[in-house]
Amino acid sequence: MKHRFIIAPITLGLAAVVSILPALPAHVHAATRQSALTAATISAPPVPNAAALMKKYGSKGITLTYVGDAVGLGHNRDLILAAEFTKDTGIGVNIIPQPVASTDSYSQKVRNFQAKSSAFDVMMIDVVWPGAFAPYLVDLKPYFSAAAIKQQAAGIVANDTVGGHLVAMPWFGDFGILYYRTDLLKKYGFSQPPKTWDELTSMAKTIQAGERKSNSRFSGFVFQGNAYEGLTCDALEWLASSGTPNFVVNGKADLNNPKAIAMLKLAQSWIGTISPRGVTTYQEGDAQVAFTSGNAAFERNWPYAYALNLATGSKVIGKFDVTTLPAEAGSQPVGTVGGWQLAVSKFSKNIPASVEFLRYMTSPAAEKFNAIYAGLVPTMASVASDPQVLKAQPYLKPAIANVMRVTRPAGIFGVNYTKASQVIFQGINQVLNGSDPSSIVSGLDTKLNAILAQH
């Protein structure tokens, strides 16, 4: 063959690679690669009312379809818990991993409900979807005692209660926290992390100016500024910690107030000064990489980044810590709630059995397993204070874990939440890119109120 001198080396190279495969230093098997924090030495908890369930369902040959976590540790956790459930109760569980991108995952559920399909019995619901999916989900209140519901985080339960019906059960949570460089705070003479946004701004300025002398790429503060749902989360934290409790208060959007405008002006001032110009295109990964590589003094992100900052290759091992986000004087620090719930579809053909599966998965024991095995933030205070969980997730110490949670106004917008959120993050992104905050917020008010009126 004419081009054997191209093909042959490539083929030889491939053969060489394949032959040294067995000797390659692989980490723990990719699908179960654990984070730098968790140890995989925990087994699935038994089902509490196993005997009764086995008696009732064991011989019926039921198989539920559960749309669970995306491929990876989350999916493996689902497999382990589902296997235990089947073993103890005789109810089979068929697991479908959901797509990793949230629009794809949302569309997957939407199509199922629009077709009134019985294909999915139990499913994972993002914290902002209960309002949209409420008409299609089973009310869980009749199936749970008041005490059991009280065990769950009150704020998230309120988020999941639409029109008096509890349509989803909290399962694992997430909330915004502030990552900061302990070594740099010491170096520039700051005794503690910033308590107010103004303090953060000035501390970041000082640190950045000092660090830029040796590292031209250093930035003071990185966060999620791209025009996507994450910006809604960040912006909610800014506003709720500076006197505007939420985008919609008492059924009305009133962002056109001096406190909100002042806060947004402050955020706008960060771009190009303490935050890189490109922060308006940053999502979680971009901010995390900036901090992990040692190029940022402060970062706003979810708890997941903690383990990544400790993993091999990180430049901030032993040099960082986390705390609650700053708040303006007169306001409390807050964290926007992220995370997932479990829900049962109204079109399911096995509602009681599905509810039992849901009960097991959202029980304290299963949440503890989840927290240790997959490193996901538990929603129950009792689980969060368990010493084993604290070891796996150090950022759950009470000072941080008890921060006030704010939820995005998904319930009040219902099926229009994605539309409302898009309006919000597009507007805030424009402010970050230089548009005048006053005109943007008055536009936001008009649009959000129009959407509310429509609902």
Q: Which is nearer to another protein, 48 or 278 (CB)?
A: 278
Residues 6+ apart with CB under 8 A from 30: none
Contact 270, 238 (CB under 8 A): no
Q: Which is nearer to another protein, 234 or 284 (CB)?
A: 284
Q: Does 286 bind another protein (CB under 8 A)?
A: yes
Q: Does 215 bind another protein (CB under 8 A)?
A: yes
CB of 33 to another protein, least distance (A): 5
CB of 236 to another protein, least distance (A): 17
H or E element at residue 343? strand 334-344
Q: Does 232 bind another protein (CB under 8 A)?
A: no
And the tokens for 286?
């971009």
Contact 247, 253 (CB under 8 A): yes
Reported residue count of the chain is 455
Tell me the β-bridge partners of 170. 341
Q: Does 217 bind another protein (CB under 8 A)?
A: yes
Of the candidate residues 15, 33, 158, 186, the single one contacting another protein (CB under 8 A): 33
Q: Does 16 bind another protein (CB under 8 A)?
A: no
Tell me the β-bridge partners of 321. 180
Q: Does 19 bind another protein (CB under 8 A)?
A: no
Q: Which is nearer to another protein, 133 or 144 (CB)?
A: 133
Q: Does 350 bind another protein (CB under 8 A)?
A: no
Site for another protein in 234-273 (CB under 8 A): none
Q: How many helices and strands, by DSSP H and E, does the chain display?
A: 21, 15
Contact 269, 438 (CB under 8 A): no
Site for another protein in 382-421 (CB under 8 A): 415-416, 418-419, 421
CB of 287 to another protein, least distance (A): 10
Of the candidate residues 48, 210, 245, 278, the single one contacting another protein (CB under 8 A): 278
Query: Segment near another protein (CB under 8 A), from 141-149, 190-198, 235-243, 424-432?
Result: 424-432
Q: What share of the chain is helix, strand, coil (3-state, %, to 5)?
A: 50, 15, 35
Q: Which is nearer to another protein, 25 or 164 (CB)?
A: 25
And the tokens for 358?
């849901």
CA–CA dist 330, 363 (Å, integer): 37
Q: Does 292 bind another protein (CB under 8 A)?
A: yes
- Residue 266 burial (CB < 10 Å; 0-12/13-18/19+)? middle
Q: Does 379 bind another protein (CB under 8 A)?
A: no
Query: Cα 130 from chain centroid?
Result: 15
Largest CA distance in the chain: 79
Q: Does 285 bind another protein (CB under 8 A)?
A: yes
Q: Does 39 bind another protein (CB under 8 A)?
A: no
Of the candidate residues 21, 61, 147, 164, the single one contacting another protein (CB under 8 A): 21
Q: Does 71 bind another protein (CB under 8 A)?
A: yes
Contact flags string 300-339 toward another protein, x per CB under 8 A: --xxxx-xxx-xxxxx------------------------
Query: Cα 246 from chain centroid?
Result: 19
Q: How many residues form the binding site for another protein (CB under 8 A)?
A: 108
Q: Does 93 bind another protein (CB under 8 A)?
A: no
Site for another protein in 99-138 (CB under 8 A): 99-104, 106-108, 110-111, 113-115, 117, 132-133, 135
Site for another protein in 150-169 (CB under 8 A): none
CA–CA dist 47, 347 (Å, integer): 25
343 vs 116, 139, 147, 167, 411, CA distance in Å?
Answer: 15, 9, 19, 6, 15
Classify 77 as helix, strand or coil.
Answer: helix
